Amino acid sequence: MSAPDFDDRMLSLGLARVAEQAAIASARLVGRGDEKAADQAAVNAMREQLNRLDISGVVVIGEGERDEAPMLFIGEEVGTGKGPAVDIALDPLEGTTLTAKDMPNALTVIAMGPRGSMLHAPDVYMDKLAIGPGYPEGIVDLDMPPATRVSALATAKGCDPSDITVCILERPRHEAMIAEVRSTGAAIRLITDGDVAGVMHCAEADVTGIDMYMGQGGAPEGVLAAAALKCMGGQIQGRLLFRDDDEKGRAEKAGIADLDRIYARDDMVAGDVIFAATGVTGGSLLPGIKRDVGWLTTETLLMRSKTGSVRRMRYRTPVPQG
C-alpha cells in the first residue's frame, strides 16, 4: 500500500497541539532567567507530541546537527511512521532570551509540508527582507539599499517614507542599516530577539504597525517566517550568509549549490504548508501564556497555505503536575 497523501486539513489540529504543548512545558520557565531550561522543556515536549502524530516526518529545520543537538536535530525522523511523508521545520522556543526575561513575542513555532516542500537551510545567518500582502511582487528587493527599500514601499503604499515603520533586530551589525533607514524619515521598531515574529508582524500591519522587516538573523528562522507568510500572504526574500568555510561546508552538505542565491518566499517553501505558533510571552500577534492558580491558558495561531485559513485557538488546561 502506498503512503497516504499529505492531508493538511486533518494534520493541522495535531500540529497546533504540538505548538501548544511546547508552550505549556515552558510556562513555568517564563521570567526565570534560565534560557537553556526553557528551551529544553519546549524541545522535549515538541518531540514527544510529534512522535504521537501519524506521520513519517523528517526534521529539515531543527535544533542543529545531530552531534550538537541531542533532540530534534536536522534529519531526525519523527512520528509514528504510519502516515504521509512530511518535512518538518521547527523552533521549539523562538526567543529563548525573551522567555527567560519575560519580554514580548516569544513563540513556539512549527511548520509541516509534504516531503521536499521546504528549503533545507543550514544553521547559518540569513539576510532577510519582508513586507506584508497586497503589494506587487518584487517592489522591494534584497539587492536594493535599505533607503531605496523604504522609498519603494512608501511609493507603493501611497504614503511618505515617514509613515513607514521598519522592524530590525538591535545588533551592532545593523548600525549602518539603522542609520540609513532613519535618514529616510522612517520609524524603526527595534527588537532584541525574535525575527520570526518580526517578519510575521508585516502581514498584520494594521494591528502591529510594522510595514517591513529587514536585517540578518538565523536562516532556520527565515524558512519558518517564509512558511508563515505563505499562509498569511506577504513577501520575503533571503540570502544565506557564510562567515567561514565550515559554514559553507554545512550548506553544501545540505545540498545548496549556489551560495549567493536570493530565495523568494516560494523558493524557501515550495509546496503547501501548515503552520502553528503559540504565544509564550505576550506580543502584538499573540497573547502569552496566562497563569491562573492551577490553570494555564494559551493561544495558538494555526494556518494553512492551501486555503489561507487562519485560526486562533484558545486552550485552557490544568497546570501539568511534576
Ligand X SMILES: O=P(O)(O)OC[C@H]1O[C@](O)(COP(=O)(O)O)[C@@H](O)[C@@H]1O
Binding-site ranges for ligand X (CB under 6 A): 91, 94-96, 169, 171, 193-196, 217-218, 221
Nearer to ligand X, 150 or 223 (CB): 223
Beta carbon of residue 91, minimum distance to Mn ion (angstroms, whole number): 4
Task: Calculate the alpha carbon distances from 48 to 62, 94, 219, 293 in Å.
Answer: 15, 18, 25, 26
> Is 158 marked as binding a ligand?
no
Residue 130 CA to residue 140 CA, distance in Å, equals 8
Beta carbon of residue 94, minimum distance to ligand X (angstroms, whole number): 5
Cell numbers at 288, concatenated: 502569552
Instruction: Rule CB under 5 A: say whether 195 interacts with Mn ion.
Output: no
Beta carbon of residue 126, minimum distance to ligand X (angstroms, whole number): 8
Which phi and psi angles does 277 have, rounded to 5°?
A: -140, 135
What dihedral angle (degrees, nearest 10) is formed by the CA atoms of 236, 15, 300, 110?
-40
20 binds, among Mn ion, ligand X, none (CB under 5 to 8 A by kind): none
Q: Are 111 and 87 in contact (CB under 8 A)?
A: no
Instruction: Rule CB under 5 A: say whether 39 interacts with Mn ion.
Output: no
Which phi and psi angles does 314 have, rounded to 5°?
A: -95, 135
> Is 48 marked as binding a ligand?
no
217 binds, among ligand X, Mn ion, none (CB under 5 to 8 A by kind): ligand X
Beta carbon of residue 185, minimum distance to ligand X (angstroms, whole number): 26
Nearer to ligand X, 140 or 191 (CB): 191
Beta carbon of residue 55, minimum distance to ligand X (angstroms, whole number): 23
Instruction: Rule CB under 5 A: say whether 94 interacts with Mn ion.
Output: yes
> Is 221 marked as binding a ligand?
yes
- Which residue's entry shows cell 502524530? 53
64 Rama sector, left if φ>0, alpha if ψ -120 to 50, beta otherwise: left
171 binds, among Mn ion, ligand X, none (CB under 5 to 8 A by kind): ligand X
> Is 14 marked as binding a ligand?
no
- Concatenated DSSP letters of 92-158: EEE-HHHHHHT-TT-EEEEEEEETT-B----SSEEEEEEE-SSS-TTSS-TTS-HHHHHHHHHHHHT
> Is 292 marked as binding a ligand?
no
Q: Are 279 and 286 in contact (CB under 8 A)?
A: yes
Nearer to ligand X, 8 or 193 (CB): 193
Count of residues engaged in binding Mn ion, rule: CB under 5 A? 2
Q: Which residue is nearest to ligand X (CB)?
A: 217
* 212 closest CA partner among 163, 153, 263, 266: 153
> Is 322 marked as binding a ligand?
no
- Concatenated DSSP letters of 79-101: S-SSS-EEEEEEEEEE-HHHHHH
Beta carbon of residue 174, minimum distance to Mn ion (angstroms, whole number): 17
Nearer to Mn ion, 98 or 210 (CB): 98
> Is 76 marked as binding a ligand?
no
Residue 112 CA to residue 269 CA, distance in Å, equals 10
Nearer to ligand X, 21 or 56 (CB): 21
Q: Could you report how far apart the first and last alpha carbons of the chain are, in Å?
A: 42
186 binds, among Mn ion, ligand X, none (CB under 5 to 8 A by kind): none
Instruction: Rule CB under 5 A: say whether 91 interacts with Mn ion.
Output: yes
The binding site for Mn(2+) consists of 39, 63, 91, 94, 221
Tell me the binding residues for substrate: 94-96, 125, 171-173, 193-195, 218
What is the binding site for Mn ion (CB under 5 A)? 91, 94
Annotated binding-site members: 39, 63, 91, 94-96, 125, 171-173, 193-195, 218, 221
